[in-house]
Structure 1
Amino acid sequence: MSVQYSRGCVGALCTTSVGVMRSSIALAILACALLGGSATACTTTAEPAPTIDWSPCAQHPDVECASVRVPIDWARPDGDSIEMAVARRTATDPAHRIGSLISMPGGPGSSGVDDLLAAPKFSPELNSRFDVVSFDPRGVGRSHPVTCDAGLAATMPNVVPDKGARLDDVQSYAKKLAASCRARTGPLMDHLDAVSVARDIEALRRALGDDRISLYGRSYGTMPGQSYAELFPDHLRALVLDSVDDHSLDGDAFLASEARAGQDTFDQFAAWCDRDTACVLHGQDVHAVYGARAASTDLLQLSSATTQLLYKPDWPALATMFETGPVPAQPPPPVHDGGVAMPTTIVCSDWHFDISSQQQWEQLWQQQNRNAPTLRAHFAWAAGSLCSGWPTAPPNPPHVPNRPATPPVLIMNGLHDPATPYEWALGVERNTPGATLLTYDGPGHGSYPRNACTTTAADRYLIDLTVPARGSHCAAVPG
């Protein structure tokens, strides 16, 4: 059904080798994009505002590039610091400019600078009214990337209990990997969490000179967005959480819900194959086809490749992969001084997986199989397994947000999202006073660009601060 509106007010996931790809899969929640926040850190600062010196980007002169210096540890603002890379596309209608719209990239590991260099990110109307700003989060891309030992990255142990995997091996490996990352990356390894990123966004706001900012986060980018709402509500004009992570979940609930989401989206694909002759598997038992492929290839590699094709979704390509094509490998990560970039380790800074025995691990694996009887597991399984052995506790552990009064928040989520389950969006809506959930009734990860309904709803909110009526839905794009 179409969106109805009510007026709202405003208050004050790698490499071509299987081993390295497994490591990236293991720590990537992609793509997922998850929440975070802690009310314990300070929300005000007395130091002078950081400066920002824009100049045309070398790769694209229509985009401006710069950097903002931020402390590694926000509890020690006078300590060591890093340069956070930022980029900006200025409003195309400066006479009617509203302010800055900061786009928070997902992943963890996506580059917001690359996003802006590639193309305008939002609708022409939104681009006309806002300076669209994005950044490479700390530990990502141009912002002091997390770098780990290439040999370790390529030799991740088996994480499938049915194939003889041992939790002790996985957790021992995690400790060695973390030590290599720390040796190459330095003290930033202790400060990669979403709360630290939210503080970086506040530094960016001050450098831009804006009293209040509008935020758009997709997937993992919703993590610092929610943290910002906890910490700096007085400087928040609007917040869109697109494909949102529910940071109130413990590790068991996180893994179970991810498995259910993967299975649900695969079922949508199978239903399409049943009804549409354009599917090269039309007339076959698609679930049985997947099972046959799983028996002859790496299960988590297959599950991850399947889920990635369900993001868009690209159902024809997925059907072709099952019929004739190889399971695609991900591109190799950037090399840094003999190591490899592994920003996916950021997951272990925001999530806690308390797995203390082989028996418990195997029980969780059986739960994965029950929740995803075809896929058998979600790529999040490997991430949770590795993070369970991470030697340091997450500085931003899961919690129910302690959020003060904020402007109305717009949550957008697909009904069949393989990475950020719809049940997460329902949970975040319950835990966020004044939030409104807009449901896209189709499959895929990311709702803003799906159709005119989803784009218009977000644009009206960001421009006019008009929120959809509660319970609003946007119809699925025919597939």
Structure 2
Amino acid sequence: MSSFQSTSIILFLFFATQALAVPHYSTDTSPNIEWRTCKENDPPNLQCGQIKVPINHEDPHGGHFNLGFARLKSNSMSTIGNLIYNPGGPGGAGSAEVFAQAFLNVSIWTLELLAHYDIIGLDPRGTGLSNAMKCDPDIWNRRVSGTPKNKDEFKKLVAYNKAFGESCRNLTGPVFDFMDTESAAKDMDLVRKALGEEKLTFYGQSYGSQLGSTYAGLFPKNVGRMVLDGVMDSSQSSVAQVAMESNNGYETTLNKFFQWCNTTAECALNGQDIAGIFDKMIATAESSPIPAPGCAPEGDKACRSDATSEEILAQVQIGLLGFSASSVFLGWPALSGAIAQAAQGNATLLSRPIKNTSSHADFSFLGVGCKDWIAASKSYIDLVLIRQMTGILSPHSRGNSQFYEIQSSCIGWPSPPTNNPHTLDPKKVAQLPPILLVNSFWDPSTPISSANALKTKIPNSVLILRNGSGHTSYLTFGKTTEAIDAFFVKGILPAQGTTFAY
């Protein structure tokens, strides 16, 4: 049985499609894109391409690597141009979603959008078709706590982070040291030029919003229509990011999940004290890992034979990414069932997956994260203080968050951060066209507070909201999706603060 890691909107499509296409390229150094089939028997409107980009943009005449992407061509005669897409992560590959739409009939974009744009699923450096980060999965699979209880456990964590990072550097090559978002944004501008586009049309989900805002800060005059869905504010300090996500994101959404469970028959624990059941289950796992008898050590659905409280909390946050209403993704009903099983002593559905390959989106997640955010936690005491602070603010989720994972996983990382949190230059922001920001009310990873923070830094941006739960909004295919399509296709912006029911 699979774990909730596969329920992530970002990771679900990434894992589901990686075996579908492994294009082979020549070593042509032409700056032009050479389009070709990704593999035999591809749909006629699916193509793969690549361009060569500098490993280090500060040394453009130094080493280069192939930046890859997939294109889903529009079948319409009314095509406007190219829309570059990033699914988030960090670590997600845009090509995976293009493959999913082409091969699996998974709806990623509406017919309206597909009729007007060629979709470019761009794989940022270190992901997918773009020199994907490779690491030693055996090191990854070792169990080391990210919440050390003493200095000896802290030393083990630092040693583990260093060993895993060194394995990634050795297997990935020089791109490992240049996986920061600013470098990825500069890559994206080279793709824009290669596509022959005067302006960039871009849709970024989750971390893709950080890629988009970074691009906007670097190349404001090159921005066309840009939508950032599930908004991150990269100007926040590392500690502020941890606090904002754990409290305003995870804890707030978890409380909404409890409320939903008490009022919805779809919940496996409907009519029961789910908050109390959840807290007791976490306390049990903290005392001793809960068995996961349905897990196997190998195969596509491999997971650990038991689950710690730390691992369960991470998987629950991923489960909350799904929409509360039934959808193509496992959502809240399935999460409630997983919690109910774990409370009865079977944590199979919430066990941490085992990695059996050297390339994985989770590896790239750290490759980017450790280059973008300074680990404010340098010592055991630092981690303890952050966890105590966030634990007080977030009693059910206990301060767990993806940003805390970055904090704890990047201590000892062999490549220092280069794209540290910083605000956008007001002079460059003044040159930007309107940007559409989108956020749901209850998003466990990118809370509304983050969207509001970015809005204040881009005054002519328009923020619209979805009165619902789940991470990002386009895939709800409701009124929010229609508003996004209207902006991309016709340039129509909703009124500031417009709230949609779905």
Pair in the same fold by TM > 0.5 = yes
Corresponding residue for residue 472 of structure 1 = 498
Corresponding residue to 1:316 among 333, 344, 354: 333
Corresponding residue for residue 86 of structure 1 = 69
Corresponding residue for residue 365 of structure 2 = 344
The whole-number CA distance in structure 2 between the counterparts of 1:396 and 1:340 is 20
Corresponding residue for residue 279 of structure 2 = 291
Unaligned runs of 5+ in 2: 12-28, 102-106, 290-307, 324-330
Corresponding residue for residue 361 of structure 1 = 383
Aligned residue type for 1:352 = I
Q: 1:193 to 1:30 in 2, by over 3 A?
A: farther
Residue 49 of structure 1, CA deviation: 7.8
The whole-number CA distance in structure 2 between the counterparts of 1:63 and 1:49 is 22
Does the residue aligned with 2:462 lie in a helix, a strand or coil? strand
Corresponding residue for residue 383 of structure 1 = 406
The whole-number CA distance in structure 2 between the counterparts of 1:60 and 1:370 is 53
Corresponding residue to 1:110 among 92, 99, 112: 92
Counting only pairs closer than 5 Å after superposition, residues 59-138 of structure 1 correspond to structure 2 as 60-61=42-43, 62-94=45-77, 96-119=78-101, 121-138=108-125
Aligned residue type for 2:419 = N
Corresponding residue for residue 163 of structure 2 = 176
The whole-number CA distance in structure 1 between the counterparts of 2:406 and 2:58 is 28
Unaligned runs of 5+ in 1: 1-15, 32-47
Corresponding residue to 1:267 among 252, 255, 258: 255
Does the residue aligned with 1:437 lie in a helix, a strand or coil? strand
Corresponding residue to 1:397 among 398, 407, 420: 420
Q: How many residues align?
A: 437
Aligned residue type for 1:373 = P
Corresponding residue for residue 3 of structure 1 = none
The whole-number CA distance in structure 1 between the counterparts of 2:376 and 2:234 is 15
The whole-number CA distance in structure 2 between the counterparts of 1:108 and 1:334 is 20
The whole-number CA distance in structure 2 between the counterparts of 1:29 and 1:185 is 26
Q: 1:244 to 1:446 in 2, by over 3 A?
A: same
The whole-number CA distance in structure 1 between the counterparts of 2:477 and 2:174 is 43
Does the residue aligned with 1:189 lie in a helix, a strand or coil? helix
The whole-number CA distance in structure 2 between the counterparts of 1:390 and 1:397 is 15
The whole-number CA distance in structure 2 between the counterparts of 1:330 and 1:67 is 34
* Contact 1:247 1:399 survives alignment (8 Å): yes
Does the residue aligned with 1:198 lie in a helix, a strand or coil? helix
The whole-number CA distance in structure 2 between the counterparts of 1:387 and 1:139 is 17
Residue 165 of structure 1, CA deviation: 7.0
Percent of residue pairs identical: 30
Q: Deviations over 1:125-163 (max 9, x none)?
A: 111111111122111122111112233212252122458
Corresponding residue for residue 159 of structure 1 = 146
Residue 407 of structure 1, CA deviation: 1.1
The whole-number CA distance in structure 1 between the counterparts of 2:487 and 2:120 is 18
Aligned residue type for 1:252 = V
Aligned residue type for 1:310 = L
The whole-number CA distance in structure 1 between the counterparts of 2:483 and 2:361 is 40
Corresponding residue for residue 456 of structure 2 = 430
Residue 369 of structure 1, CA deviation: 1.2
Corresponding residue for residue 57 of structure 1 = 38
The whole-number CA distance in structure 1 between the counterparts of 2:264 and 2:220 is 48
Residue 333 of structure 1, CA deviation: 4.3
The whole-number CA distance in structure 1 between the counterparts of 2:10 and 2:239 is 18
Aligned residue type for 2:36 = S
Corresponding residue for residue 417 of structure 1 = 443
Q: Deviations over 1:23-74 (max 9, x none)?
A: x9xxx9988xxxxxxxxxxxxxxxx982111123327323111111111111
Runs (4+) off by over 6 Å:
28-31
Corresponding residue for residue 250 of structure 1 = 237
The whole-number CA distance in structure 1 between the counterparts of 2:356 and 2:98 is 20
Moved more, 181-190 or 414-423: 181-190
* Contact 1:105 1:135 survives alignment (8 Å): no
* Contact 1:218 1:244 survives alignment (8 Å): yes
